[in-house]
Amino acid sequence: MLIQVENLNKTFVSRKRKAGLWGSIVGLFSGKKEYIHAVKDISFSIGRGELVGYLGPNGAGKSTTIKMLTGILRASSGLIRIDGLDPEKHRKEITRKLGVVFGQKTQLWWDLPVEESYDLLRTIYRIPQKEFRDRMDYFIDLLKMEDFLGQQTRKLSLGQRMRADLAASLLHNPPILFLDEPTIGLDIITKDVVRKTIKQLNQEQKITVVLTTHDMEDIEYLATRLILLDRGQVQYDGQLNDFIANYQKEKIVSLHLEQETDVRSLQSKGFELASPSNGQFLEVRLKVDESVSGLIGALSEQGARIQEITVGKQDLTETLKKIYAGKNLEL
């Protein structure tokens, strides 16, 4: 396995302090200790070439885990191996095996042109000149970067910077790529470019990708496996398709009627609206195994005529919200 995690824990210690300057001073020496268990006994392994969505609500422990995997934080207990190496003992070797992209931070030099930042990275990672040139040509073409290579990083748009950061993280040809909110704030076109690039790199070069994001479209387009973290513990670890099949127990029926109908009558018969309705456009929530014919029959009784009907799955975001709220956890 390329990434191995066993019984991993991380506990932060803070001191409660009283208000005011004197309270802060006293708190440095005698404040009551508070233990925050950010990660609790988690275990998982990730093989070469996998593309894994590592998800959870804010405060679930995602970023803490990634920082321990990359050697930024030291684990309180447990085992981590990156391609067989311990991140604490082999930080330099681990660095060469990892590419990291944070959506709200850049690894490029702010006042330098992008191409000069790349040349500095070439020196840092001791990349042979020919290999560097081949990699640059590949990413310039793949990420459409030729128009802004000469611009300073601080003058780039968010979409340009994200593409530049993605290339920078992969110049040294690492086998593992950590992505934290890689499409946050991007326009639709740039999101599409970034997603397709990640997928192509995973499929063609077998780069192992660990993706943390709140954008469920990223997960549905990219991930094949899902690790769901909540309150510092793994709640689900398995294939994305299995997750959808087992957890998405509802479907949404969208209807366009010729004229308005009384939605209160539908609700009185036990039908639940998935969104507010004006009486002519309806979205009704049904169980996956529930027939649509009952809904159509109820509308017919009211004299409603259906112009268009579509049936779709419940949005993945809504499914995850229910899980975070402690509902629908049983398979």
The domain that holds 93 is classified in CATH as: 3.40.50.300
Tell me the residue range of the domain where 139 lies.
Answer: 46-76+83-245
Does a structural domain hold residue 185?
yes
pLDDT confidence band for 27 (50 / 70 / 90): low
Other CB atoms within 10 Å distance of the CB of residue 89 = 9
pLDDT confidence band for 58 (50 / 70 / 90): confident
Q: Global pTM?
A: 0.78
My answer on whether 219 and 309 are in the same domain is no
Tens of pLDDT along 72-118? 899 999 999 999 999 888 888 998 999 999 877 888 999 999 999 99
My answer on whether 57 and 197 are in the same domain is yes
When pLDDT is averaged across residues 160-187 and rounded to a whole number, the result is: 92
Q: How does DSSP assign 15-52, residue by residue?
A: EE--SHHHHHHHHHHHPEEEEEEEEEEEEEEE-TT-EE
Compute the distance between CA of residue 308 and CA of residue 298 in angstroms, rounded to an integer.
16
Q: Quick check: 328 and 277 in contact, CB under 8 A?
A: no
My answer on whether 278 and 195 are in the same domain is no
Tens of pLDDT along 125-167? 999 999 999 999 999 999 999 999 999 999 999 999 999 999 9
Choice among 74-78, 178-182, 312-316 with the minimum mean pLDDT: 312-316
Q: Average per-residue pLDDT in the chain? A: 87
